[in-house]
Structure 1
Amino acid sequence: MFEEHVTGLAFPEAARWHDGHLWFSDMHDERVFRVDGPGSVTEVAHVPGHPAGLGWLPDGRLLVVSMHDRKVLRLDPDGLVEHADLTHVATWHCNDMVVDARGRAYVGNFGDGTAPGTPVTPADLALVHPDGTVAVAASALEFPNGAAVVDGTFVIAETRAEPPRLTAFDVAPDGTLGNRRLFAEFGPESPDGLCVDAEGAVWFASWSTNEVIRVREGGEILDRRSTGDAGAYSCVLGGPDGRTLFVCVAATWMPEESRRTRTGRILSTPVDVPAP
């Protein structure tokens, strides 16, 4: 059901489809890559603070989250520069990010340094405007993680909520989020990176159950596909017709072990409903 698209990675995350290419962060290898074809990757940036979420400004410049620095960096023609400092919003390491068509970036953080299985500190979701100014988009999220914004609706994974859930918001003209509501909640599944398809359903990666799952608002599971013995951490729809689901997987998320074993891979599988 899945084909191997890229292998030999440490810990691939934050998959995005942009300008005809798949992009991703190899978080524990401190690098951002662009995929030029099956097995062919180009290093785009080196991020010593550990890269996570990716997105683009309207003028095409890349934004990348530097996790441990709690910053958003911008790739200018002469290299990476600071775009926004999130230390006054993020209470622990930053993680995933989605950037809308206006160049507004939404960045989550872990909340605290505890491991899954224990209560987590609710976190604020940062809103970074195109000029780098920072505000709070929404508060009291339980590990705001993978997110997508389509047609004025914002969907985000609350990975460590009890039970784990997807939460939806309406996007106000100023970029802040309102009308908070439950999109779907789960049992053993732990939603991480996600994307929305043309029917408004969400594909999300579940590292706790080693699969990607397609769910409709309200919680109906429409499809689920196993990634075998590897946890799934991010997914995105792409390809020439938007009907390929790319999935970032790895056998471990532990930094030293992932760099040593390099089990990280990017898998791909065809789907019926394309990207929006």
Structure 2
Amino acid sequence: MKWQPVSDQRFKLAEGPFWDDVQQSLYWVDIAGFRALRLHQGQVRHWQFNEPVSAFIPTVHGDALVTLASGVYRLDLDSPADHPAFSLLCVADPISGNRANEARCDRQGRLWLGSMQNNLDAEGGDLPLERRSGGIYRVDADARVTPLLNGQGIVNTLLWADDDHALLSADSLDGVIYRYPIQADGALGERTLWAQQHERGVPDGSAMDAQGYVWNARWGGHCLIRFAPDGRVDRIVEVPLSHPTSCVFGGPDMTTLFVTSARPASDALELDGCVISVETGIRGQVSHRFSG
């Protein structure tokens, strides 16, 4: 595979890639750099915040959601980089000292948000994790918040399987990916182990292809693992990154895989901190805008 950076920029903690099929644009964030970014027609724009931002998802109305440490906000995409105009949509996780980590929209355009104890200081530096206070929340189009899960360590990966009857989600502290049945009332049922620990890194964010295979970025593993629909390891995809963080399918044919990464403070590889892409020849599932 011939991996290419989408720009020459390096980021502290690039995460949360989203491909907007409508505008043919790539959205992502630099969590520790407090920035939301968009690549459109070869040009990168950014919006600077004063707190961690973990996801950047366009809405059906033409603005976008940003999940900041203090809540979920609507961002005016026409506002300037250093003075972004944004307004509070909701506070999904009410626990003081937590922040959003993973966020994706389901087929209905509802935002699912996974949280964790905030592990970043005011400058984006690392803080120790001292509690399992994270959870999973669903935000409907009308901003109504439904708590779904609590007591989580680091929520990563939010994907829907089995015709949307199950949620796949990793807890990176456990090093595994779980499967949760979605009950008729929308609640999550008892979890089962879907993908067990692997020597090639810790599970971070993921994308799903059209065949239902999960491409999981492996923090510290220099690779992605492609899991079969039943959770078996299908293949290991090497990447020129020490800490890939997440991935998404996009491009005109939905066959380009974009991978975000972190840049460690020492012993960084050349492309660490970049967003890179490769043509896979495998069609991926589309990303869904927020419906509110």
In which range does the TM-score fall when normalised by the shorter chain? Answer: 0.7 to 0.9
The range that moved more, 231-240 or 183-192, is 183-192
Selected match of 1:128 from 139, 147, 167: 139
Specify the alignment match of 2:247 in structure 1: 235
Q: Does 1:99 align with 2:105?
A: yes
Residues 1:49 and 1:269: Cα distance change in structure 2 (over 3 Å): same
Mapped to 2, the partners of 1:119 and 1:33 lie a distance apart of 30
- After superposition, what is the alpha-carbon deviation per residue over 1:49-70, rounded to whole angstroms, capped at 9, x for unaligned? 2211233444343111103x2x
Specify the alignment match of 2:197 in structure 1: 186
Aligned length: 264
- After superposition, what is the alpha-carbon deviation per residue over 1:29-62, rounded to whole angstroms, capped at 9, x for unaligned? 3221111245x3122x332222112334443431
| Partner amino acid, structure 2, of 1:41 | V
C-alpha displacement of 1:122: 5.1
Native 8 Å contact 1:52 1:65 kept in 2: yes
The range that moved more, 216-225 or 204-213, is 216-225
Mapped to 2, the partners of 1:239 and 1:262 lie a distance apart of 21
Structure number with the bigger relative contact order (C-alpha 8 A, sep ≥ 6) is 2
| Partner amino acid, structure 2, of 1:62 | A
Specify the alignment match of 2:116 in structure 1: 110
Mapped to 2, the partners of 1:127 and 1:250 lie a distance apart of 27
C-alpha displacement of 1:232: 0.3
Which structure 2 residues correspond to residues 6-85 of structure 1 after superposition, within 5 A? 6-10=7-11, 11-18=13-20, 19=22, 20-38=24-42, 40-43=43-46, 45-67=47-69, 69=70, 71-76=71-76, 79-85=85-91
C-alpha displacement of 1:156: 1.3
Mapped to 2, the partners of 1:52 and 1:215 lie a distance apart of 24
| Partner amino acid, structure 2, of 1:226 | E
- After superposition, what is the alpha-carbon deviation per residue over 1:51-96, rounded to whole angstroms, capped at 9, x for unaligned? 11233444343111103x2x11112477311111134247522211
Mapped to 1, the partners of 2:243 and 2:228 lie a distance apart of 22
Residues 1:220 and 1:128: Cα distance change in structure 2 (over 3 Å): same
Native 8 Å contact 1:156 1:167 kept in 2: yes
Selected match of 1:222 from 234, 245, 266: 234
Native 8 Å contact 2:220 2:242 kept in 1: no
Mapped to 1, the partners of 2:97 and 2:138 lie a distance apart of 15
| DSSP-derived class of the 1:131 partner | coil
C-alpha displacement of 1:25: 0.7
- After superposition, what is the alpha-carbon deviation per residue over 1:4-26, rounded to whole angstroms, capped at 9, x for unaligned? 22222223111011122111112
Higher strand share goes to which structure? 1
- After superposition, what is the alpha-carbon deviation per residue over 1:85-131, rounded to whole angstroms, capped at 9, x for unaligned? 13424752221101223332111122465989988515321222222
Mapped to 2, the partners of 1:269 and 1:13 lie a distance apart of 17
Residues 1:172 and 1:57: Cα distance change in structure 2 (over 3 Å): farther
| Partner amino acid, structure 2, of 1:27 | I
- After superposition, what is the alpha-carbon deviation per residue over 1:223-263, rounded to whole angstroms, capped at 9, x for unaligned? 222223531011111111111110012331x6xx8xxx995
| Partner amino acid, structure 2, of 1:8 | Q
What do you get for the CA RMSD once the two structures are aligned?
A: 2.9
Native 8 Å contact 1:127 1:176 kept in 2: no
Residues 1:64 and 1:171: Cα distance change in structure 2 (over 3 Å): farther
Q: Does 1:4 align with 2:37?
A: no
The range that moved more, 110-119 or 57-66, is 110-119
| Partner amino acid, structure 2, of 1:134 | V
Selected match of 2:273 from 240, 246, 264: 264
Unaligned runs of 5+ in 1: none
Residues 1:159 and 1:116: Cα distance change in structure 2 (over 3 Å): farther
Mapped to 2, the partners of 1:167 and 1:55 lie a distance apart of 24
Which structure 2 residues correspond to residues 166-181 of structure 1 after superposition, within 5 A? 166-172=177-183, 175-181=186-192
| DSSP-derived class of the 1:121 partner | coil
